[in-house]
Structure 1
Amino acid sequence: MKPLHTIDEVLQALQQIIDTSIKNKDPLGYFAVLYYKVTQKVKEGIQQEFFEDNPRMEQLDVIFASRYIDAYYAYQSNQPTTASWQYAFSLATQFWPTVFQHLLIGMNAHINLDLGIAAAEVSKGGDISSLKTDFERINQILSDLVYDVEEDLSKIWPTLKKILTLTKDVDNFLVDFSMKLARDGAWKFAETLFATAEDQKVNVINQRDIKIAKKAKIITEPGFIANFIMKIIRLGELGSVPQKIEDLKE
């Protein structure tokens, strides 16, 4: 995969992953669709000058997205990638994970590991504190889209809304797990990485990666009751993998 330089190139690369996933009936396309929507929102924000430093936000978006896209192609080529992404991608070969779990596990790897790395990298040679406001605005975009996704998932399983209402604590737990770590952990990690000596950065990233990969099990193994509910949801999901991807695109 050639290096990406603009947000439009990111969108093109994500569309390629989506198209390939539809063709191959690959559940990895679920997260790619969500991420495409996120990137579109960020692009709109940049065009509307929503951020304090819009050119920097495009640069951040490209660095951020490249980590996911590079990890995707590394996995497809049987090349090593981070433990967090390896765990997320491995779910594509399993039957039981719901679409919602596929999305959350991708968010876990990307937000809780990659976002901090991207923030530290885009701040090189400057002051990372100047990025804080725009970083929080990115997190707000990500958080808002989680709830939009629930609407899309209701197309895949029409009774999902009712189940999520009855099990509000389970739903909120899974959403808050990813978003809370994004708010409370990703920025702290970015600051830590930014202040770390260059020859120690790989070690710091590896330690964070191991931690995030372990926490991913909260999503795939949320406890007996939540797991039972997820199995019911999985059995009730409508359509093939390509159809589900198309539903998420709308």
Structure 2
Amino acid sequence: MAPSAHLTPRAGTVDAVVARMRALDASLPERDGVAVFNRVYLAVTEEVGRRLETGRFTDPRAVTTLDVRFAERYLAAVEAVAGDRRPPACWRPLFQFRRHPGVRPLQFALAGINAHIGHDLALAVVDACRALGCEPADLEDEFDRVGDLLVSLEERIREDLMPGPDLLQIADPLTHLLGSWSLERARDATWSAARALWALRRLPDLAEEFALRLDTAVGFAGRMLLTPLPD
């Protein structure tokens, strides 16, 4: 029997995105690199949903539109791989190394965040502006609030997934590898990229080239984050 309509999250809502991520989580092995990132992203999206319900965003429609357009790019990459199609370059390292025994869970989590923030978020801002009929500046407050949430969760992710006591972390090659990447710097670069893509929207050839080069550069950074490490 089909579920009642009022129990089925409407397409284009944060609840619908959460439902898709939960289904993906249930279908993947726990150690799978995509599963590691998906759990992180699910926690972020659930928190956005809770804050929307409690009225903690000044423009709920803008936040919902941005959050859903953002998530759809990650889910489209998952669906592309499931359908034997190539995902964007920024996502390829995570899918290629998702079962590598020398890559640690924290690397998988941050490589996924790198792909999603570094590439997908800039395009999602443009998508949301088109859907809402606004300029990127009109979404800056919502962008910053969601970004602040991501930064706080990144700190928790590093604490939860970084192995060993603090004294051992100093000598751990993972500490040195990940010390060169910062979510705050990635978020700042993404906002600049979103504004550039919006400015180029009437020059589609240049906009496509810019987006392609962004995709490639973010993919290169993701490959570095997934460097296999000794135990």
Give the aligned partner of residue 246 of structure 1. none
2:124 paired residue number = 118
1:65/1:97 CA distance change after superposition, 3 Å: same
Superposed CA deviations along residues 153-203 of structure 1, whole A, max 9, x for unmatched, are: 26xx4x254433x25996487266141332320000110111113523332
1:152 Cα deviation (Å)? 2.8
Q: Which runs of 5+ in 2 are unaligned?
A: 1-9
Structure 1 partner of 2:152: 144
Unmatched 5+ stretches in structure 1? 222-226, 233-250
SS of the counterpart of 2:90?
A: helix
**Cα distance in 1, alignment partners of residues 81 and 198 from structure 2:** 27
Alignment-derived partner of residue 194 in structure 1 = 198
In 2, Cα distance between equivalents of 1:78 and 1:118: 24
Counterpart amino acid of residue 142 in structure 2:
D
1:132 maps onto 2:140 in alignment? yes
Task: Give me the whole-angstrom Cα distance separating, in 2, the residues matched to 1:135 and 1:148.
Answer: 20
**Structure 1 vs Structure 2 CA RMSD:** 2.4
TM-score (norm 1): 0.79
Q: Describe the SS at the equivalent of 1:50.
A: coil
- How much does 1:217 deviate? 3.3
8 Å CA contact 1:107, 1:178 repeated in 2: no
Q: Distance in 2 between matches of 1:143 and 1:176?
A: 16
- State how 1:1-250 maps to structure 2 within 5 Å: 4-22=11-29, 26-124=32-130, 125-153=133-161, 157=163, 159-164=164-169, 166-167=170-171, 171=175, 174=178, 177-198=181-202, 199-200=204-205, 201-221=207-227, 230-232=229-231
> Relative to structure 2, which stretch is displaced further, 30-39 or 170-179?
170-179
Contact 1:113–1:186, Cα closer than 8 Å, also in 2: yes
- After superposition, the C-alpha distances for 1:22-50 in whole angstroms (9 at most, x for unaligned) are 38x63321001000000011112222222
SS for the counterpart of 1:93 is coil
Aligned CA distance change for structure 1 residues 168 and 136 (closer, same or farther; 3 Å)? farther
Question: Could you tell me how far 1:52 is from its partner in structure 2?
Answer: 2.6
TM-score, scaled relative to structure 2? 0.85
User: Could you give the per-residue CA deviations for residues 47-103 of structure 1, whole angstroms, max 9, x where no partner exists?
Assistant: 222223111101111100010011011112211220111122111132211001001
8 A contact 1:104–1:178 mirrored in 2: no
Q: Which amino acid aligns with 1:17?
A: L
Letter of the structure 2 residue corresponding to residue 180 of structure 1: E
CA contact (8 A) 1:21 1:27 kept: no
Q: How many residues align?
A: 218
* CA distance in structure 1 between the aligned counterparts of 2:32 and 2:121, rounded to whole angstroms: 25
Q: CA 1:161–1:30 in structure 2 vs 1: closer, same or farther (change >3 Å)?
A: farther
- Residue identity over aligned pairs, in percent, reads 24
| Matched-pair contact (CA < 8 Å) for 2:151–2:184 | no
More helix by share: 1
d(CA) in 1 for partners of 2:215, 2:226 = 17
Give the whole-Å Cα distance in 2 for the aligned partners of 1:204 and 1:102. 26
Amino acid at match of 1:184: D
